[in-house]
Amino acid sequence: MARKQLITIYQGLKASLGAVSLQSGEMGFCTDTREVFIGDGTNNYFVGRALSGTEAARPNAGNQGRLYYVTSGNNMGYLYYDSGSAWVRINAQKLSEMTGSLDDVADGTTYARVLKADLSSGHVNKVSDGTNTKTAAEIKAHVDDASKHRLINDSGTTVTDLWSAQKIQNEIELAKHNIEPQASVKDQNLAAPPGSPANSDRYIIPASASGAWASQTGKIAEWNGSTWVFYTPQIGWTCYVDDEQKVYSWNGSAWVRTGGALQTITAGNGLTGGGQADTVTLNVGAGNGIMVAADTVSAKAGKGIVVNSTGIEANIDGESIIYDADNKLTVSVISGGTF
């Protein structure tokens, strides 16, 4: 069958179309780029589907808005956009194929880049304040340099040693053990621990105590909220006993009233009693004509002794019993009397 004559449109090289203004509705075909354009009397507009072919057959960029799809060979399946000066791939790309930097990525915050040289095993190995930059190794060497910094040494006792917070707390608690027992105790005569002690209640443990206090004679017991803590007194420890309102001191073997030694009273001639108790009793000794009642001391009259309101008098014969010049009592001439 004979081939029919078709109606053709303007056609020619793309470069030649640039010098021609297609009439409104008039079409033109570029034989070298296979592009179709339609004019409006002033401008020529590209129409039709995306160009396609191998990447090598792709026309030069220069008509903004064109699309080109690579059908085979290198970069097959990629779609390109003509920016007017270059073909730009619009498919998803690898990071190595992207332009720009991490500074351009943000979700409300601008991220800064990290130099590859400052990364070790995925971790940043340098710290900078914008002026000073140090590696982790340099920082550690600086911190560990004993010539610049004193290291924590809980076992040290010199003035240059540093203790940890826990060590300091422990030492404070030990120091408190030498101070707190000198505070008041509630009682020193309870033979058994109280049933419901309050936290920090203290007691001096008497002899033969029972229960949790057994075999703790003389020690100070303190209730810490869950158990009894015992402190062995040292010479010089003092404490106030609440129920007695008195102060006692530990003398190395017993708790004694503070200043008690100054209160010792020893009875002398004619007196009995004395001691070191809070109340000391002295008694006047009776005998040899001296009588002691509840509130009085009296002498027994007789044999020339008279007891009256004046006092005690002796009936002395001035002639037979006299005083000499030295005021000594002597016996003088005794007369037998007359018939």
Q: What is the pLDDT of residues 118-137, one digit of tens each?
A: 888 888 888 888 889 898 88
Mean pLDDT of the 296-317 span = 71
pLDDT per position as a tens digit, 73-106 = 988 989 999 998 999 988 766 667 666 665 666 6
State yes or no: pLDDT of 189 exceeds 80. yes
DSSP 214-241: TT-TTPEEEE-SSSEEEE---TT-EEEE
Query: Residue 259 pLDDT > 60, yes or no?
Result: no
Question: For the whole prediction, is pTM greater than 0.75?
Answer: no
Span of 69-78, 117-126, 305-314 with lowest mean pLDDT = 305-314
Give the alpha-carbon dihedral of 156, 159, 160, 162, to 10 degrees: 60
pLDDT at 336: 57
For residue 216, what pLDDT is reported?
96
Average pLDDT over residues 58-79: 89
Q: Where are the domains of the chain?
A: 10-93, 177-260, 302-339
Q: Which residue has the higher pLDDT, 308 or 24?
A: 24
**What value does the mean pLDDT take over residues 234-242?**
89
How many CA atoms does the CB half-sphere of 257 hold within 13 Å?
A: 12
- pLDDT value at residue 193: 96
Structure tokens given for 199 = 């936290």
**pLDDT at residue 312, rounded to an integer:** 72
Q: Is the pLDDT of residue 69 over 80?
A: yes
Structure tokens that stand for 175 in this block: 């120091």
Tell whether the model's pLDDT for residue 217 goes beyond 80. Answer: yes
Give the DSSP letter of residue 181: G
Burial class (CB within 10 angstroms; exposed 0-12, middle 13-18, buried 19+) of 221: buried
Region 297-307 average pLDDT: 72
Check pLDDT > 80 for residue 22.
Answer: yes
State percent of the chain over pLDDT 90: 22
pLDDT bracket for residue 261 (50, 70, 90): very low
pLDDT of residue 154: 86
Tell me the torsion sign for CA atoms 126, 127, 129, 132: negative
Distance CA 67, CA 171 (A): 81
- Of 206-210, 226-230, 259-263, minimum mean pLDDT range: 259-263
